[in-house]
Amino acid sequence: MRGNFGKTLTLAAALALTTSLARADDVEVLHWWTSGGEAAALGVLKDDLKTKGIGWVDMPVAGGGGEAAMTAVRARVTAGNPPTAVQMLGFDIQDWAAEGALANLDDVATAEGWDAVIPAALQRFSKYDGHWIAAPVNVHSTNWVWISKSALDAAGGKAPETWDELVAVLDSMKANGITPLAHGGQPWQDATMFDGVMLSLGGEFYKAAMVDLDPAALGGEKMAEAFTRLMKLRTYFDDNFSGRDWNLASAMVINGEAGMQMMGDWAKGEFIKAGKVPGTDFVCIRFPGTQGSVTFNSDQFAMFTVASEGAKAAQAAMASAIESPVFQSAFNVVKGSVPARTDVPDTAFDDCGKKGIKDLAEASAAGTLYGSAAHGHAAPAAVKNALYDVVTAAVNGEYATGADAATALAAAVAAAQ
Ligand code: BGC
């Protein structure tokens, strides 16, 4: 009896050990890359890890800006079962690091010389207290407009460079019988559009309001004008914009139903996935009036503290794979973003990607590179959420004037701090 019981236990223990060893070498990855273009980019990462013997357990939580994903992470951590790696943006990474929940990636970062090739603007989020706690995958930026080439040709053919030119093109698209502006009414999408609108009123204003949280800039005349512009843009949406996913808005431009979309360069991933070619099928421009400036966000993989050696090894291997220059090129070509390293050649990128790489380097050198407010790179989550609330209320017609909206924003941001 005794002997048999002992045997059973041994078998159970062996089974548990085998299971935990098998799991240890996999990475469970929580992310919000669920659209066609995003899934294609994710495939590049999965395949790359597979060649290195690292298995993948998928944990997708849809929703740009990562709000829903961050709620899911919080639940997992509270339950004492954090995922191995989590797609994360800006201040969210810093918040988790401050809670002591993230693993230290210094060994791999030092061995591979990340300090020298990852720009300071990204390191500000990938490091906490001098230690690497996240591996940046890319740099996206939000002040882009994606225009259907045929719709633009029908509207005179000249890409708008100023606010007035933008309004003229939108008017002529409307007259041509298409939806001028494809948009999905979700708070993070409204706020993404608003990044570009604010930046079109000047980089210094953008920084004062969104980064420095200066009450005078938040509630002042330029902010009132930004909201007035947003309310004007709202008049070019179709009737069904409310709640629409961003990739369905991209599809409206891709299939000729709409003229343009104001969205980060993950939208380019959708165009590319649909076989569309920049310059031929679509045109990418910076939000009119923001040429020379960039509002960026960087997807990074934060690694949570894990106990087993096998899981730690898998995290280090994943971090190393992500920072490889070859991977950086292959992944970002598909994703629509640009590399997180400064030493990756632009050879494999299409014209929009080449422009993205050049714009980023120039803005960085000129001091006109700003964190995206909509995507958690300008201020912590509480402020970002306050911005979402007011911007969405403005899109939904809750304020009589831009000045009313600006006053509401200043109050909401003050309350959030
Ligand atoms: C992420 C992108 C993603 C987009 C839409 C952004 O917050 O940085 O990688 O494609 O959301 O899901």
User: Cα–Cα distance between 406 and 218 in angstroms, integer?
Assistant: 6
- For the entire predicted model, the pTM comes to 0.94
Over the stretch 8-46, which tens digit does the pLDDT of each residue have?
334 444 434 444 443 437 999 999 999 999 999 999 999
Query: What are the backbone dihedrals phi and psi of residue 26, each rounded to the nearest 5 degrees, phi first?
Result: -90, 155
Contact 352, 265 (CB under 8 A): yes
Residues 312-330, mean pLDDT to the nearest whole number: 96
Cβ of 286 below 6 Å from ligand 1 = no
pLDDT at 169: 98
Contact 269, 35 (CB under 8 A): yes
Residues 6+ apart with CB under 8 A from 358: 346
- Give, as one character, the DSSP assignment of residue 65: G
The pLDDT confidence band at residue 154, using thresholds 50, 70 and 90, is very high
Out of 147-161, 257-271, 302-316, 324-338, pick the least confident.
Answer: 302-316
* Among the listed residues 297, 299, 305, 298, the one whose alpha carbon sits nearest the alpha carbon of residue 105: 305
Instruction: Report CA(266)–ligand 1 centroid distance (Å).
Output: 6
Cβ of 299 below 6 Å from ligand 1 = yes
Cβ of 32 below 6 Å from ligand 1 = yes
Nearest atom of ligand 1 to the alpha carbon of 62: 12
Residue 4 pLDDT exceeds 90:
no
Residues 6+ apart with CB under 8 A from 386: 409, 412, 413, 415, 416
Residues 6+ apart with CB under 8 A from 203: 293, 368, 370
Q: Helix, strand, or coil here: 381?
A: helix
Instruction: Report CA(63)–ligand 1 centroid distance (Å).
Output: 8
Instruction: Report CA(375)–ligand 1 centroid distance (Å).
Output: 8
Contact 139, 298 (CB under 8 A): yes
Average pLDDT, the chain: 94
The pLDDT confidence band at residue 162, using thresholds 50, 70 and 90, is very high
Cβ of 323 below 6 Å from ligand 1 = no
Domains (range + CATH), the chain = 11-140+297-353 (3.40.190.10), 144-295+366-416 (3.40.190.10)
User: Cα–Cα distance between 409 and 414 in angstroms, integer?
Assistant: 8
CB-based burial of residue 104 (10 Å sphere; 0-12 exposed, 13-18 middle, 19+ buried)?
middle
